[in-house]
Structure 1
Amino acid sequence: MLKRQEIIAKAKQSIMEFDDIAAKKVAKEALEAGIDPAEIIEEGFTAAMELVGERFAEGILFLPHVIAAVYAMQAAIDILLPEMEKMGSETKSRGTVVIGTIEGDIHSIGKDIVATALRIAGYNVVDLGSDVPIESYVEKAREVKADVVASSALMTITMINQMRIEEQLNEAGFRHNVKTMVGGAPVTQEWADRIGADIYAENSGDAVNKINALFA
């Protein structure tokens, strides 16, 4: 138990220190110690990324810090994801989620955390990246037969594009085939209700819980 706690603490530290080399080392150490890769991601790396996000929102950290933290986490994910996929291949995917940061918004930290959490929970996640054109959500959702279309907006001025996703899914006659989820720092349940989104996710855990409820 102590060894596990020490490794999780080191995982958090590697992200908070923006150290991609340390993050890779901890990821390998976790696998060698027999720790579930999903646990080290969720309790170690993701927990630290959420703290980075909070400090960014508070103005304590700045965009270069966030980018460095994302690189460090990605270095660890590159080690852990193949093992997770090997484990996940033994079970059927719970559903397909198309996710991206909305057009006009280059921020990806929240979206990356949610995408990782959904993969851990057993979903097939199609990550479109950031600054994603509205049409891409609709086209990709149709192409992969998505169950959920999720969009993140980290700036108030880009939130309106989440409404445009709803509109274009309707125009394409595809809205009834999918559920939509919105999230991001300025996004609220009131906004989700206003634009007709099915789910408002406050954070990665909330996103997983609410999407799980769709498939219960």
Structure 2
Amino acid sequence: MLLAELKEAVVNGDMDEVEVLCNRVLEEKFNPVEAVQNGLIKGIEELGKLWTEGEMFLPDVMMGADTLKLALDILGPELAKAEAEGIKRDVKGKIVIGTVKGDIHDIGKNIVSAMMTAAGYDVYDLGINQDIAAFTEKAEEVEADIIALSALLTTTMPEQKRLVDHLKEQGLRGKYKVIIGGGPTTNDWANEIGADGWSETAGGAIALCDQLTA
């Protein structure tokens, strides 16, 4: 029953309810990994399916992603303990995403972030106007697999190249896959700067990440 309620709370984007339920998980000493895997993640998967079928809208997906994030924040300490004991939940990979320095546009990035979460990735969204150091520091901190850079202005596109160059300078280029996106960007630009991939859409970004983490 608790698992079904957790799933429903995510589908409904009900942050108040998920907070109550996560506290129940802690109070009742329910397996936090099972709560996440068979409750919360099932909810975000269902939400992604409904969005794909046109039965849910983007704001619903983003609310569900925010609800999942809140739940993971609450259960985080217990999840860490469980993982330390060798009990791990299934995660496709870890992605650090953000809009580059000088760019304050975030709608496209938010869509991709929400859909990546729905697709089963741990997503660390840095927000807008982020310096290249913020991406690398977070990637190192969380042991990310992918760094995703959004640029919505032609004037900020060079920041994507700077990140790739910075990784090379730090001897980290081989450690992370770098993907880019944003209105003025193209696949040719991705190839020119040495990124690992580019996508025009959120669905394409997920397929790209699936390919890069396979």
User: Which range, TM-score by smaller chain?
Assistant: 0.5 to 0.7
In the TM superposition, 1:10-29 aligns within 5 A as 27=13
1:39 to 49, 72, 96: 49
| CA shift in 2, pair 1:78/1:115, >3 Å | closer
| CA shift in 2, pair 1:139/1:76, >3 Å | closer
Cα offsets for 1:54-82 (capped at 9, x unmatched): xxxxxxxxxxxxxxxxxx87556545666
**Cα pair 1:38 1:84 within 8 Å, conserved:** no
| CA shift in 2, pair 1:143/1:188, >3 Å | same
Shift of 1:121: 0.8
Pairing 1:182–2:180 present: yes
Report the number of matched residues: 163
Q: CA RMSD in A?
A: 3.1
**Cα pair 1:149 1:178 within 8 Å, conserved:** yes
For structure 2, the 5+ residue unaligned runs are: 1-11, 15-42, 74-78, 80-87
1:167 to 165, 168, 171: 165
- Give the TM-score taking structure 1 as reference length: 0.66
- How many Å separate the matches in 2 of 1:211 and 1:119? 12
Shift of 1:213: 1.1
Shift of 1:84: 9.6
| CA shift in 2, pair 1:163/1:74, >3 Å | same
- How many Å separate the matches in 2 of 1:133 and 1:101? 9
In the TM superposition, 1:56-205 aligns within 5 A as 74-75=62-63, 77-79=65-67, 91-205=89-203
- Give the TM-score taking structure 2 as reference length: 0.66
Pairing 1:208–2:173 present: no
| CA shift in 2, pair 1:82/1:181, >3 Å | same
Cα offsets for 1:134-176 (capped at 9, x unmatched): 1111111111111101100001100010000001111111111
For structure 1, the 5+ residue unaligned runs are: 1-25, 29-33, 50-71
- How many Å separate the matches in 2 of 1:76 and 1:212? 21
Q: Which amino acid aligns with 2:210?
A: N
| CA shift in 2, pair 1:93/1:74, >3 Å | closer
Cα offsets for 1:59-114 (capped at 9, x unmatched): xxxxxxxxxxxxx87556545666899xxx99411111010001000000111111
- How many Å separate the matches in 2 of 1:121 and 1:77? 11
